[in-house]
Structure 1
Amino acid sequence: MAADLHHVHQHLFVTGTDTEIGKTLVSAALLHAMQTQGWRAVGMKPVAAGASLRDGVWHNEDVDALMAAANVAASQELVCPYLMQAPAAPHIVAALEKVDITLPHIMQCYQQLRTQADAVVVEGVGGFCVPLNTEVTTADLAQALDLPVIMVVGVRLGCINHALLTAEAIRARGLTLCGWVANTVDPSMLYMDENINALRTRLAAPLLGHIPRLNVPDHQKALNAASYLDLSVLK
């Protein structure tokens, strides 16, 4: 459904209840939904771990998906300031690959993206509290950006606890959880609707939508996922 975005947040931080639960899918879907309103929208994944070399250029699937979903042609260096090779926890990979992840550089790239677009959707790495180095976590990054937060809940057994803990961590940082998305990770989960309803009554933020398991080619998933989101309910 088309969303009226004139009175909602333009810049958002997307976090999740775990890794591999659909943050990139939802971030790309948000970009598509924003574009239906004529907005210039761009995604950002400040830190990505796991890359392959193609034609002399390092690529990460999440970063590529965000760039494909945007309607602003930003450089990969701005979209992903820290792209590392090994697919593991970012603070471990950064130490091994001698990468110095700093918040000031991420903030500088983010500010540049803001000058190029009406909306920037920033996707975190892993869950909300994942370390980026020995001192800084993804939660610190979210706090530095000071953006309203969208939480992606990977719908599977255990998601209620994971979602409530993540929401508590977001509030503890003084940030606003402005909405959440239920993304089906385990389509055979028992009592799926009941679990989602349990979260609706316990999370002080609106449900933007429930994305089912999408059996379509990867390049179509984000566009299809956007049809399940109603951004007009964003707080």
Structure 2
Amino acid sequence: MAKKTFFVTGTDTGVGKTMVSAAILEAAKSAGKRTLGMKPIASGCERTPAGLRNDDALILQHAATESLTYELVNPVALEPAIAPHVAAVQAGRVVSVDRLVGFCRGMQMRPADLLLIEGAGGWRVPLNDRETYAAVPQALDIPVIMVVALKLGCINHALLTAEAIRNDGLIVTGWVANRAEPNAMSCEQETLNYLMEQLPARCLGVLPWLEGVGPATLSRYLDIDLLFEN
């Protein structure tokens, strides 16, 4: 059974959740840990001879130490490159919290030191007309790792996301600052200093913008010892 499970969320879409998740998996692998990664639902999948495939899910599949079929890493694959709840309707699929929780619990039963479950978009992204993705980590009762993209407005987005997670009864174990764009934001260090003082969790690392490098290189900028404490 997976000893440590974390849900990875972002302060917005496009903040680099997958690259951060893969870098954490690579860092854990370097520390001799057995790892698993999954993206329960992914939109924007491409048709291949093997079926629908999502680039982010493939990155997680490759970064994990344990061999898994694609369908276990990404059990709900949707072709339309739009919000998951709209993509599901267009694809004639029904997506519910209970269903995604079932997939996640099945993965938790596999032996590993670390399991990362990557969400979609931000904390409140809808799954259907009644449920949001936030209910999945709530049902699993697992801690959260938050990805913050260093850009204008990130302080507000980070503080609001952390507040929502706490209000939902979950713990933000750590957060990662990610330079998701090539041009550094102005007053970046001041922004980082403020976030480190105000967020209710430790920063696991600040990832640079390095074009063309993979998660293994980015993992060198992380300190994930905190994830394995207790």
Say whether the fold is shared (TM-score over 0.5).
Answer: yes
Gaps of 5+ in 2: none
Indicate which of 179, 187, 197 corresponds to 1:201: 197
Q: Give the length in aligned residue pairs.
A: 224
Indicate which of 98, 101, 108 corresponds to 1:104: 98
Distance in 1 between the 2:14 and 2:180 partners? 9
Distance in 2 between the 1:168 and 1:183 partners? 20
Distance in 2 between the 1:142 and 1:16 partners? 14
Distance in 1 between the 2:223 and 2:15 partners? 20
Distance in 2 between the 1:45 and 1:52 partners? 15
Determine the structure 2 residue equivalent to 1:91: 85
User: What value does the CA root-mean-square deviation take over the aligned residues?
Assistant: 1.4
The percentage of aligned residue pairs carrying the same residue is 42
Gaps of 5+ in 1: 1-8
Distance in 2 between the 1:189 and 1:103 partners? 36
Contact 1:52 1:58 in 2 (8 A): yes
Contact 2:45 2:52 in 1 (8 A): yes
Distance in 1 between the 2:204 and 2:220 partners? 11
Determine the structure 1 residue equivalent to 2:65: 71
Contact 1:79 1:109 in 2 (8 A): no
Distance in 1 between the 2:130 and 2:208 partners? 37
Instruction: Tell which deviates more after alignment, 82-91 or 107-116.
Output: 107-116
Q: For residue 138 of structure 1, report the CA deviation from its aligned partner.
A: 1.1
Determine the structure 2 residue equivalent to 1:82: 76
TM-score (norm 2): 0.93
Deviations 1:47-77 (A, max 9, x none): 1000111224211011000001011111222
Q: How does 1:1-235 map to 2 (within 5 A)?
A: 10-118=4-112, 119-186=114-181, 187-217=183-213, 221-234=214-227
Q: For residue 207 of structure 1, report the CA deviation from its aligned partner.
A: 0.5
Deviations 1:122-150 (A, max 9, x none): 00000010001111111111211211100
Specify the code of the residue in structure 2 equivalent to 1:215.
Answer: E
